[in-house]
Amino acid sequence: MGHKVDFLCRACHYEERDLGVGCGRRPQPCLRLFRCDNCHSIGSTWVGAGGVPRCSLCYHDAITLLADDVMGVACPKCAAAGIFAHHREDVWE
């Protein structure tokens, strides 16, 4: 099971909502949060046992995977400190 995450940058008001993170019923693949420095976005993408994780928006593989419980990361748009809000009650399978 996983939960939903929102990303919000107070500086430039870039936000991404309802990003899924975590694993489904099977252990692989899992949804992981990432920051893409190619298209400057935050998102979540499927990461499996094989293959290279790619940005779900631009499909570039130069992404930085973030921890499932990450609380903050530099905003990909403006480099200010962005925050993650975890909605643990919002569970998906």
- Binding stretches for Zn ion (CB under 5 A): 9, 11-12, 14, 36, 38-39, 55, 57-58, 60, 75, 77-78, 80
User: Shortest Cβ distance from residue 5 to Zn ion (Å)?
Assistant: 16
Alpha-carbon 9 to chain mean position: 14
The token duo for 4 is: 């939903």
Tell me the closest approach of the beta carbon of residue 76 to Zn ion, in angstroms.
8
Q: Which one, 11 or 67, has the nearer CB to Zn ion? A: 11
Tally Cβ neighbours within 10 Å of residue 21.
21
Identify the three-state secondary structure at position 2: strand
